[in-house]
Structures are given as structure tokens and as C-alpha cells.
Amino acid sequence: MGTVLALMELSRDREVLPSSLEALAVGKMIAEKVGLKLAALVMGGGIEQAAESLRAFPTDEVLVVDQPLLEVYQPELYTQAVEQVCSEIKPDYLVMGETFQSIDLAPRLAFALDSGLVTGCVDLEFDSGETLFIKPVYSGNVMAAYAVEGVPRLATFRSKSFEPAKPGESAPSPVRSLAISLDQSSVKIQAVEQVLSGNGHAQGLENAEIVVSGGRGLGGPEGFEILRELADQLGGALGASRPPCDLGWIEPSAQVGITGAIVAPDLYVAVGISGSTQHVGGMEGAKTIVAINDKEDAPIFKIADYGVAGDYKEVLPQLLEGLGRSK
């Protein structure tokens, strides 16, 4: 019986990322449909706890590669490690969440394993024995279904496209440690310095229950000051469309959209954002969407639940005042 291998990624505090648990759920789905075993693969240095935590999820096996050299992500060593695991396990599928790490790692694995890769998948179809990987192309304007030749079939999955795996009721899955040997002489890329904040979990933004985002319509960094007041008042995180990030009005990590953070909060407030396909792809999972835009026909209103057609410079002070008023 073949195997679906789900590669688990850890945060800097060595917890399994939510996007990996989504990948685990995807792996489960493939395993059930195609009739394969499911194994979770976790790699790193000093990761007993993470490995133990994975045993609670319904898999056939948790595979562990625990090596000091893998403590931080190094592309060439990680590629070697996964390659060796694959030569032992011979998986039919290798699935991962789409993250900064897998954006780098997955194509390397595709080359090393001589397999096809589909990135950023949002859905799967099982069509007479063939697994089809569904993803947006043309930056969200068209959907494509791909089949992958060769094994393992590689795929990464856009975050929040699938419900994450939940701990199961049954006995903990067995753990197996895999010994691999890493060849450091192949390492050409050396890390010199890291400038990081947070623990490597998706930023507060991606888990926030309320997100308040500003777009090009804010006109400059000053616009984000009043927007920040609104975010504080609501107890939400501050986000942005891409132009304010590219223009330096706010830090790049605030970007929401298909090439930024994918968010699905309870409330998303879009201010001065037109509603491009690429932005909407990162926030349309929000439960409630409020849009403030001076153009009544802005596309953002098509996907909003509440809209105010007006200049944000007038609307935001009104909103802040309304929120401040006693309930």
C-alpha cells in the first residue's frame, strides 16, 4: 500500500503550523479517496514535543527526522533530508501548506525527486482514478485543474482552503525516527543574519478575529494613522492591500491577498481598497466584510456585507465616534 506524506512545518517555537494541519487534512482526504496510508513527516532539531503532539491526529504514522543541522531551515539540507526520506518511504503524494518555506522548498524537491509540482492549490478532484489539483491561475481570474506525472506527486495548498486536521479519538499514532545522513559539503548558501520578529507563526494578522485594512485610497502613511486608531478601537489587527506595502506606507508583512496573508476573520474592514481579484482572494473567507470607498461602483462592494460610499477622511471619524459612544 502506497503512502501520502504530509510535510509538517514548525514555527520558531517548534509548534506545528496551522497550515500544516490543513495539509494533513488534505493528505487524509487523498489517502481515503485513493486508498493509501497517511504519514506525517516532521523535521527539525529538538522536536520531540512537536512529534508527540502530532500523534494525536489521525495518521498511520508520524515520521521524525530530528537532527541539529535541521534546527533552522536551510534549503539545501532540507532538500537532502526530504529526498532521503522519500527514497525510503517512496510516497505517492507529498503535500505541504503554502508558506514562505514551502515556496522555497517545494520546487527544489520537485527537481530532486524529478516529480511534478502544483503550487497554491485550493481544491482537489478525484476523477476516475486520477487526482486533479485545482488552483487559481491568471492571478485568480481563471481556475485550472492539473494532473501530475511521476511519483511522488507534489502539491502545496493555499492556507485556509481546507479545514485543519483535528485530533482523533483513537490511540496515538505510532512514531518512527528516521536516520539520515546530511552532506554539508553541498551547502552553498550561508545564512549571515536574521532580522525577525515574532515566533514564526503566521503573524497576528492571519489569526486575528478582526482585520482592518487600508489601500491605495488612503493616499499616504498618514491615512494609516487613523486606520490604526480604528483597529485599536475594535481590537483588531492592521492590514493593507499591496500598493501601500510596495509604497512603504506600512510594513510589507501587512499585505493581505494572494501573495500576502490569507485571512478569514470574523470581521474584515476594507478602507480605500478597490477590491481587485488578487486582494479579494486573500480575504473573501471573512465572515462579515465592511467596505468604505468613495466610489459607489467599486468592486469591493460586490463582496461586502456593509458598505459606506464616502471619503474615508469623513467616514472614519464618524465611525470612531459611533464606536466610542456608549452602547
Partner 1 sequence: MNIIVCMKQAPDPEGPRDSFCINVEDMKVEPKGIPPALSLFDENALEAALRIKDADKENVKITVLCMGKKVSSAVLLKALAAGADAAVMVQGAEYGVQDSFSTARALAAAVAKIGDYDLILCGRQASDSNAGQTGILLAYVLGIPAVSLAQKIVPDSAHALIERVLQGGYETVKAPLPCLAVVGNEAGELRYPAMKERRLAKKKPTSEWAMDDLALGGALSQKVTLKRLFAPTARTRACKFVAGDALAQVLREDQVI
* Cβ-contact 54, 8 below 8 angstroms: yes
Contacting partner 1 (CB under 8 A), which of 213, 276, 282, 283?
276
Range 203-242, binding partner 1 (CB under 8 A): 203, 234, 242
Question: Residue 170 burial by CB count (10 A; 0-12/13-18/19+): exposed, middle or buried?
Answer: exposed
Residue 149 binding result from partner 1, ligand FAD, none, given CB thresholds of 5 to 8 Å by partner type: partner 1
312-324 and 221-234 helices, crossing angle to 10° = 20
Cβ distance to partner 1 smaller for residue 26 or 290? 290
Interface with partner 1, residue 126, by CB under 8 A = no
CB-closest chain residue to ligand FAD? 257
Contacting ligand FAD (CB under 6 A), which of 50, 257, 263, 286?
257
Among 273, 259, 266, smallest CA distance to 302 is for: 273
* Cβ-contact 146, 133 below 8 angstroms: yes
Residue 232 binding result from partner 1, ligand FAD, none, given CB thresholds of 5 to 8 Å by partner type: none
Interface with ligand FAD, residue 243, by CB under 6 A = yes
Interface with partner 1, residue 252, by CB under 8 A = yes
Interface with partner 1, residue 99, by CB under 8 A = yes
133: phi then psi, degrees, rounded to nearest 5: -100, 120
Range 281-300, binding partner 1 (CB under 8 A): 284, 288-292, 296
Check residue 178 and give left, alpha or beta (phi > 0: left; psi -120 to 50: alpha): beta
Q: How far is the CB of 104 from ligand FAD (least distance, A)?
A: 18
Give the integer Cα–Cα distance in Å for 129 and 162.
22
Q: How far is the CB of 310 from ligand FAD (least distance, A)?
A: 7
Among 27, 16, 8, 26, smallest CA distance to 65 is for: 8
Q: Quick one: which H or E segment has residue 314?
A: helix 312-324
Contacting ligand FAD (CB under 6 A), which of 295, 317, 318, 323?
295
Residue 174 binding result from partner 1, ligand FAD, none, given CB thresholds of 5 to 8 Å by partner type: none
Region from 21-29, 162-170, 193-201, 257-265 binding ligand FAD, contact rule CB under 6 A: 257-265
Cβ distance to partner 1 smaller for residue 169 or 193? 193
Give the integer Cα–Cα distance in Å for 26 and 28.
5
Range 139-168, binding partner 1 (CB under 8 A): 139-150
Q: What 3-state class would DSSP assign to 43?
A: strand
- Give the per-residue contact string, 35-74, with partner 1 (x = CB under 8 A; - = no): ----------------------------------------
Letter for the amino acid at 113? L
Give the integer Cα–Cα distance in Å for 182 and 69.
8
Count residues near partner 1 (CB under 8 A). 92
- Give the per-residue contact string, 55-94, with ligand FAD (x = CB under 6 A; - = no): ----------------------------------------
Q: Do the strands 123-127 and 130-137 form a parallel or antiparallel pair, or are they unpaired?
A: antiparallel
Cβ distance to partner 1 smaller for residue 49 or 323? 323
Q: What 3-state class would DSSP assign to 290?
A: strand
